[in-house]
Every structure is written in structure tokens, then in C-alpha cells.
């Protein structure tokens, strides 16, 4: 929460394009980012020790405020988007005690305790502040991001740009210049923007679309990388919350594709789909029964298209999907020992020489077929995989002359 050392006490005001939040993570283990950070491997920052228990219902209390009842309800509905993806619930209560206590102090900036660190705050004091001056309806995307961002902290997420394994290639003079305009000193910027938490933070690829990401202008980085106002939970945000608040029932990705392949005259077969964290799962048909196989086939981007083929009566299976990088990946079943191999497919004639992999359009579908030469099972098998290439453009309709 705000304290005398918290720069959010300064002239910080909520405005699009400025720092949306200054939470107060633990300062222990905060280390200056090494100069010449490694190649960008962006991963979301999570503080596992601060997670609540999966399945828990968290009581959330709003202190009285000048916002309209509709606005209060909108904030509750918006925050609850996190709980659509995971086994954790919010119960908005009208009286204390509560696990998460939200004040609306115009001088308090936007901030939140991270996860169960809220328990360290005296029970009659807020664990989160939302600045009502930023909730006027002037910038709905920004308001949405602020609410999701602060409730992300409340569930255990740290700042995305401070992810330890990643390297935003910061251009520090420009970053200092930007934050100086809102009253931050150099050491504030070092601590809250350019540093990362080296302690107890789980690394996932840094996600420029995450609601936990600060807005980063292209002039603030050496390579022009930037991040704008992210007002929706990104794929990684949803995967993060699903993975860290798991359910006994494996949640199926609501946008999952389904692929199937059969053999033995259709009496045996396999089907593939995705769970809520992007893992591809398998069920097999043997006789009259479908049985879910143990383990996972592999990982693909959330809502990836899927295709499956088999030959040699199901002894050889290939499953195709699209990765987070929008490349076609192949999972090959090896029966003995039972495991799934993985490789990224190369494009036989890449349109860009520097990109030899089969990079697809983000909305590409997938299809795959296989056949023996001349139908002779003693001959090698042929496989073709079809997807829309990255550079393909949908052509405008022909003009009537």
C-alpha cells in the first residue's frame, strides 16, 4: 500500500500512456537488470508463494466511494473475468471482514498487495486502491486494464515488464525522461520499471499483451518494441490463472479445436483437444470405449487448430498444431517407449529466407493427410500438411467491370 516511500504518492495521475499502476511488491531480491539483456524471452512474472489456495472463495469488500452503483458493479464484473478461467472465486461482500479490501482514494494511485501478502495488512485497512479519478469513463480501455491489472496483483501476479527471464531492451534515458514527467526520481524508475524481482518469481515468456504489462512506448526501447494499453486478459494471462488455480476437472479450452483419426476400419481411433492451459490431450477409442490417455501430447497456442493422421493401423500417429509463434508443430507418437516427440516444421519453399519455418497467418486453419505410394503399405508413407502462410493476404473481391 501507499507509504511515504511509495512514489505513487507523488503527482502520479491515472492517464492513458502513463504508468497505470504502482504497486508495492516486496523489495527484497530486487536486482538491477543487467546491461545488454539477453534475447527477448518474454514471460509473465508470478510470485508462487503469494498464491491463494485453488478453489478458495475470496471475500472482496469495497469501501464506500463516490462512484455510481453501476460503476461499482462494472468494476466487480470486470475483475471477475479472472475467475472465468480458473478455480478461484470472488464473493463481493457488504461488510468486513474480507480478504481483499478496496479503497477509492483519489490520492492513493492504483496499487494492490500481491496475493496473500494482503494478510499482512491490518484487517480494517485496504489492500488495494483504485483511483476514482481514473474511473470517470473517459478512457474505458484504460479503466478496464486498471481493474484487471490490480486484481491480477491481488491473485499473485507481478509486473510483466519486470519479468526476470526476459529482456525488454530498455533505452534508460528515455524511460527516465518519461517518468520524470509524473514526478518519479531516477531511483524510483530503477526500482519499479527497470529492475526485476530475482526472487521466487516464475518465468514464462514475457507477454506484451498481458494486462500486467506497463505501457511501453517504442522510444523507450532500443529495438522499438512497445506495448499499448491491454484491456483484455491475454492468452497468457488466462493460461497463467488456469494453471495456478487448477481444478480437479481439467478445464477444456472454450475455443478448442478437435481432431480425430481412426484405423482398423473405424473400430479404433483417437481424438485430440486442448485444455485451458494450451496442452493437447488425447482420448482413444478401443472397442466401444473412449478412454482419456495419461499425460499430454504437447503444448500449442491457446485455441490452436488441430489435425491428426495415422498409419500402420494406429501405431504411427501425427498431431499438428500451431505454436505461440504461429509456426506449425508436429507431435509424433512413439509407442515404445510411450512418448510424444515434437518438432517445428520447416517450410519447403519459405517466402522469407530468414524464416525457414512454416510460419502461419495467426488465423490459419490446419489440415493433414497421409498415404502410401500407390496404396502399397510396404512403401514409405507420404504426409502433407496444409496451412495458410504468414504472408498470405485475403484478396479483395473481384471488381465487376
Per CB under 5 A, residues contacting Zn ion are 21, 23
Tell me the closest approach of the beta carbon of residue 50 to Zn ion, in angstroms.
14
Name which of 21 and 175 has its Cβ closer to Zn ion.
Answer: 21
* SS3 assignment for 136-163: CCCCHHHHHHHHHHHHHHHCCECCHHHC
Tell me the closest approach of the beta carbon of residue 26 to Zn ion, in angstroms.
13
Of 54, 55, 81, 76, the C-alpha closest to 238 is 81
Tell me the closest approach of the beta carbon of residue 179 to Zn ion, in angstroms.
14
Tell me the closest approach of the beta carbon of residue 328 to Zn ion, in angstroms.
36
Contact 29, 197 (CB under 8 A): yes
Indicate the pairing of strand 100-103 with strand 339-344.
Answer: unpaired
Name which of 82 and 273 has its Cβ closer to Zn ion.
Answer: 82
269 strand-pairing partners: 262, 285
Report helix, strand or coil for 249: coil
Cα separation, 95 vs 147, in Å, equals 21
Name which of 182 and 344 has its Cβ closer to Zn ion.
Answer: 182
Name which of 28 and 248 has its Cβ closer to Zn ion.
Answer: 28
Enter the C-alpha cell of residue 46: 508470478
Which residue number is nearest to Zn ion in terms of Cβ? Answer: 21
Tell me the closest approach of the beta carbon of residue 215 to Zn ion, in angstroms.
12
Cα separation, 352 vs 343, in Å, equals 20
Degrees (nearest 5) of the Cα angle 388, 394, 396?
165
Name which of 23 and 221 has its Cβ closer to Zn ion.
Answer: 23
Tell me the closest approach of the beta carbon of residue 125 to Zn ion, in angstroms.
19
Name which of 23 and 165 has its Cβ closer to Zn ion.
Answer: 23
Of 121, 115, 117, 111, the C-alpha closest to 150 is 111
Residue-wise DSSP of 270-315: EEEEEBTTSEEEEEEEETTEEEEPSS-SEE--TT---EEEEETTTT
Tell me the closest approach of the beta carbon of residue 154 to Zn ion, in angstroms.
10
Tell me the closest approach of the beta carbon of residue 130 to Zn ion, in angstroms.
12
Contact 152, 80 (CB under 8 A): no
Residue 361: exposure state from Cβ atoms within 10 A (0-12, 13-18, ≥19): middle
Cα separation, 162 vs 199, in Å, equals 12
Tell me the closest approach of the beta carbon of residue 158 to Zn ion, in angstroms.
8
Name which of 58 and 211 has its Cβ closer to Zn ion.
Answer: 211
Tell me the closest approach of the beta carbon of residue 193 to Zn ion, in angstroms.
11
Contact 332, 381 (CB under 8 A): no
Instruction: Give the number of C-alpha atoms closer than 13 A to the C-alpha of residue 305, restricted to the C-beta side.
Output: 17
Name which of 197 and 276 has its Cβ closer to Zn ion.
Answer: 197
Helix crossing, 69-79 with 140-154: angle to 10°? 60
Name which of 213 and 300 has its Cβ closer to Zn ion.
Answer: 213
Name which of 112 and 360 has its Cβ closer to Zn ion.
Answer: 112
Amino acid at each position: 500500500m501507499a507509504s511515504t516511500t511509495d512514489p505513487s504518492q507523488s503527482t502520479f495521475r491515472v492517464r492513458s500512456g502513463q504508468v497505470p499502476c504502482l504497486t508495492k511488491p516486496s523489495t527484497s531480491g530486487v536486482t538491477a537488470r543487467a546491461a545488454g539483456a539477453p534475447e527477448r524471452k518474454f514471460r509473465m512474472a508470478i510470485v508462487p508463494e503469494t498464491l491463494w489456495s485453488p478453489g478458495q472463495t475470496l471475500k472482496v469488500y469495497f469501501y464506500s466511494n463516490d462512484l455510481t452503483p453501476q460503476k461499482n458493479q462494472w468494476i466487480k464484473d470486470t475483475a471477475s473475468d479472472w475467475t472465468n478461467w480458473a478455480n478461484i472465486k470472488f464473493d463481493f461482500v457488504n461488510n468486513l471482514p474480507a480478504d481483499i479490501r478496496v479503497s477509492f482514494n483519489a490520492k492513493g494511485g492504483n496499487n494492490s498487495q500481491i496475493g496473500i501478502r494482503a494478510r499482512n495488512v491490518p484487517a480494517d485497512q485496504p489492500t488495494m486502491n483504485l483511483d476514482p479519478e481514473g474511473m470517470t469513463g473517459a478512457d474505458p480501455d484504460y479503466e478496464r486494464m486498471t481493474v484487471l491489472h490490480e486484481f491480477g496483483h491481488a491473485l499473485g501476479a507481478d509486473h510483466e515488464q519486470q519479468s526476470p527471464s526476459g529482456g525488454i531492451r530498455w533505452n534508460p534515458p528515455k524511460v527516465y525522461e518519461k517518468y520524470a514527467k509524473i514526478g518519479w526520481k531516477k531511483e524510483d524508475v530503477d526500482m519499479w520499471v527497470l529492475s526485476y524481482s530475482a526472487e521466487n518469481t516464475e518465468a514464462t515468456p514475457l507477454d506484451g499483451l498481458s494486462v500486467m504489462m506497463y505501457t511501453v512506448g517504442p522510444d523507450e526501447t532500443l529495438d522499438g518494441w512497445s506495448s499499448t494499453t491491454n484491456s483484455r486478459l491475454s492468452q497468457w494471462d488466462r493460461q497463467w490463472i488456469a494453471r495456478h488455480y487448477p481444478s480437479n476437472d481439467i478445464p477444456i479450452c472454450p475455443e478448442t479445436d478437435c481432431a480425430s483419426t481412426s484405423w482398423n476400419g473405424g473400430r479404433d481411433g483417437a481424438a485430440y483437444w486442448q485444455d485451458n492451459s494450451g496442452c493437447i490431450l488425447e482420448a482413444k477409442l478401443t472397442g466401444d470405449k473412449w478412454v482419456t490417455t495419461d499425460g499430454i501430447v504437447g503444448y500449442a497456442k491457446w485455441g490452436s487448430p488441430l489435425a491428426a493422421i495415422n498409419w500402420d493401423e494406429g501405431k504411427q500417429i501425427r498431431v499438428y498444431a500451431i505454436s505461440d509463434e504461429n509456426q506449425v508443430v508436429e507431435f509424433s507418437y512413439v509407442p515404445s517407449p510411450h512418448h510424444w516427440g515434437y518438432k517445428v516444421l520447416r517450410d519447403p519453399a519459405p517466402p522469407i529466407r530468414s524464416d525457414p519455418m512454416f510460419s502461419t497467418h495467426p488465423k490459419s486453419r490446419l489440415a493433414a493427410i497421409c498415404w502410401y505410394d500407390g496404396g502399397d503399405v510396404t512403401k514409405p508413407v507420404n504426409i502433407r500438411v496444409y496451412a495458410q502462410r504468414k504472408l498470405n493476404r485475403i484478396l479483395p473481391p473481384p471488381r465487376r467491370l
